[in-house]
A and B are shown apart, each in its own frame.
Chain A
């Protein structure tokens, strides 16, 4: 398996890579490949069956995510059907990439799950509950799950978080942190809006979290060493 350069702090170890090498295909996966590679009616029947499965999974997935997206109703169903259609095209185009590292259906279903994520991110901006760069700092305690009755207690450390964000993050880090953490814009939605990959934004947030944490430790707000210093 091709291994990408580390995105955040680590990378797949040699052992992890070795574990992901292809093994012999299971019977069901071999059957899917044979049918999808056949001619005429057998192939068409396999494609219909796979597409039906993708539609069912996409519909279940958009419903599962409905509480965390502003996309609703018919638009949500449309996202599901579009995701299934696009996933189907991608699967058929990439059949040669399947190397039996997992069951074929798991490999195929991954396409539709990722399509749903990506499309919900793009559709977020059709009716966004918060504008980009809104900077709703008053919502931060709620975003971090801080008990409203204890927010006065937390005011000092949250003010320090804001100071670090304003003073020590780069402008790009600050914009991404405020959008995702302070304003609660989904990472995939921000990625779509800024034309960036999910991984690129995650790396920005990863570095911002580390920078903020170090400042809080240095200034006596946090004491635990944390994983980054193991």
Chain B
């Protein structure tokens, strides 16, 4: 009944593009899980909008990965027919939504990074990636604005909202280091100007995050121990559950359209 997973020729550029596509797809899917469940109608729309921004980024990146790979894969195959170990997204982004504070902290940590990252990637020597970066940067700038406003209000809100926001920060902090890590495959692309080394963005990210967290009367953990593994397919237990829902239709009825 279930259809087999595809195999992917992960050259450095294909791997790089899939990593970013997976980031966008998985976080976008997480946000879509709020649809119909958000605290208020207005926020329901906002979360769905942000999810659709990310889905749009994922589609462009998957399509480009398919073109670069040139093996007949396409955006749907990458999304629906890879197993959990073939996914390359950041661990941060697959973490469950939890309460609204946790979803906003996750969004805030990532958007503060992605806004900087895509802005820097607009200088990529790869014109397709530079164009995707230019579109994504504007979207992530808004995600950062939106999540920052909420972090301040949740943190500096009631005793309970403050506690929930602080717990989310403490729990998710260890997943933030992976955003700035590069392996040999990505280093090679950075050396020739196709991608930027995210390590150089960490100081600016930390300043943004620190400023907002301080205004929210919250605190960042002192721990510098960081969890890694998503970029090489070693995921938390949550991603498999997410994919089983995301992929159930295509795995059960291969090639189904409607």
The reply to whether chain A is a binding partner of chain B is no
